[in-house]
């Protein structure tokens, strides 16, 4: 009897602690919130590309590169696809452009850099986070749209890269979401507890430096057209961190946060310079979906306009699951996903909605 009572007390205390912990996680990560269909975008599904995680437009053309990897593990290797919105049914819009290099390839965020050389030739280079490295890859974009692997960069601080934004032909910012890596037990604990162990690195072509630190799971990056402002999706803080960038030195100065009520993923700017945010309404649902523990996960796309946050697209997961990016390509908004078997094309003219490829 003397042993029985303490055991009952310990079991009751453990059960209570688990219940409180579950309620806390549900509240903090919005698992108790009801996600409803909302937004102004009318979209059409494009079937046949699974896991279009990130989208990078080609300036001046109705073309975009897609970073493709199915996070549900139904593909051995990722791909980089050059999708032509004017010719979506052409075979060239559906094939991998990397030539199979590198062999171990799980692409994340991508960024396109272009410059006019003294010879008059337009040079384009595609920067890609490769989670298998972990590393940042640079591909030369050939005239036919194929990609030739040109450079590979890694560093001891680059433990868990997430997104990249180019600042020159061989220079870039890259977000590192947790110090230990998102797949480690410590990295997962850092995310759950909201510890500020993430940072943004800059590589100037020769040297690495920590450009910004003290971040709670930094994810997507967006550099404005003039290059003077860098935006970082601080996922675990449910906020966008704003920085003023010194173009000459690449130094960053904190300019404040934009607070959200969702967990931001990838970022981009639309044609009018407004910030587009692909957000995760419920991270646990997202994780369960990518690990095949559930059949769907909510999606959300936000836009920041004059300091106000507007919902452009929101779905329970019934029509589209686990959105990771929203990018404007010409007059069309493309929404990609971590593992859905399609992506969305949302034209400016709503009359085309309802069709599918």
Mean pLDDT (whole number) for 273-286:
96
Distance in angstroms (rounded) separating the CA atoms of residues 83 and 300:
23
Distance in angstroms (rounded) separating the CA atoms of residues 251 and 271:
26
pLDDT for res 182: 87
- Comparing 105 with 188, the larger pLDDT belongs to 105
Distance in angstroms (rounded) separating the CA atoms of residues 75 and 204:
34
Q: For all residues of the chain together, what is the average pLDDT?
A: 90
pLDDT for res 351: 40
pLDDT for res 181: 87
Mean pLDDT (whole number) for 266-283:
96
- Spatial CB neighbours of 243, under 8 Å, sequence gap ≥ 6: 212, 229, 230, 231, 232, 252, 253, 254, 255
- Spatial CB neighbours of 70, under 8 Å, sequence gap ≥ 6: 50, 51, 339
At 112-146, the pLDDT tens digits run: 999 999 999 999 999 999 999 999 999 999 999 99
How many other β-carbons are positioned within 10 Å of the β-carbon of residue 305? 13
Secondary structure, 3-state, 46-97? EECCCCEEEEEECCCCCEEEEEECCCCCCCCCCEEEEEECCCCCCHHHCCEC
When pLDDT is cut at 50, 70 and 90, the band that residue 191 belongs to is confident
Mean pLDDT (whole number) for 95-110:
97
When pLDDT is cut at 50, 70 and 90, the band that residue 260 belongs to is very high
- Comparing 185 with 243, the larger pLDDT belongs to 243
When pLDDT is cut at 50, 70 and 90, the band that residue 36 belongs to is confident
Peptide bond into 134 cis (omega under 30): yes
Alpha helix segments (H runs only) across 84-160: none
The ranges assigned to domains in the chain are: 1-32, 38-352
- Spatial CB neighbours of 145, under 8 Å, sequence gap ≥ 6: 63, 82, 92, 97
Do 52 and 336 contact (CB within 8 A), yes or no? yes
Do 179 and 158 contact (CB within 8 A), yes or no? no
Length of the chain equals 357
pLDDT for res 15: 53
- Tell me the fold of 38-352: Neuraminidase (2.120.10)
Phi, psi of 194 (to 5 degrees): 70, 35
DSSP helix, strand, coil percent of the chain (3-state; round to 5): 15, 45, 40
- On the question of pLDDT at 32 being above 80, the answer is no
When pLDDT is cut at 50, 70 and 90, the band that residue 307 belongs to is confident
pLDDT for res 267: 98
pLDDT for res 2: 57
């Amino acid at each position: 009897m003397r042993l029985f009572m303490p055991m009952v007390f310990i079991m009751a205390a453990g059960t209570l602690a688990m219940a409180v912990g579950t309620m806390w996680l549900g509240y903090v990560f919005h698992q108790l919130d009801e996600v409803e269909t909302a937004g102004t975008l009318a979209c059409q599904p494009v079937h046949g590309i699974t896991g279009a995680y990130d989208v990078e437009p080609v300036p001046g053309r109705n073309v975009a590169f897609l970073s493709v990897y199915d996070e549900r593990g139904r593909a051995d290797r990722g791909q980089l696809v050059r999708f032509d919105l004017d010719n979506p049914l052409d075979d060239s819009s559906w094939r991998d452009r990397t030539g199979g290099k590198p062999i171990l390839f799980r692409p994340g965020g991508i960024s396109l850099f272009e410059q006019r050389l003294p010879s008059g030739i337009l040079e384009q280079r595609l920067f890609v986070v490769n989670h298998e490295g972990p590393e940042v890859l640079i591909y030369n974009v050939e005239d036919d749209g194929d990609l030739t692997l040109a450079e590979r960069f890694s560093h001891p601080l680059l433990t868990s890269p997430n997104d990249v934004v180019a600042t020159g032909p061989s220079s870039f910012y890259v977000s590192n979401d947790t110090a230990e890596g998102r797949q480690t037990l410590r990295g997962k604990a850092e995310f759950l507890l909201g510890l500020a162990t993430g940072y943004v690195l800059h590589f100037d072509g020769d040297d690495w430096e920590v450009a910004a630190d003290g971040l709670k799971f930094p994810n997507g990056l967006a550099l404005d057209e003039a290059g003077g402002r860098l935006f970082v999706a601080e996922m675990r803080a449910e906020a966008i961190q704003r920085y003023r960038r010194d173009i000459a030195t690449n130094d960053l100065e904190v300019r404040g946060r934009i607070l959200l009520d969702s967990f931001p993923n990838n970022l981009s700017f639309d044609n009018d310079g407004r910030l587009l945010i692909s957000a995760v309404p419920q991270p646990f649902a997202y994780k369960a979906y990518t690990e095949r523990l559930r059949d769907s996960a909510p999606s959300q796309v936000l836009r920041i306009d004059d300091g106000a946050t507007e919902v452009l697209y929101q779905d329970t997961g019934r029509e589209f699951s686990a959105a990771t990016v929203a990018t404007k390509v010409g007059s069309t908004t493309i929404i990609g996903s971590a593992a859905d078997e399609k992506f969305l094309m949302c034209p400016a003219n709503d009359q085309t909605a309802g069709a599918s490829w």
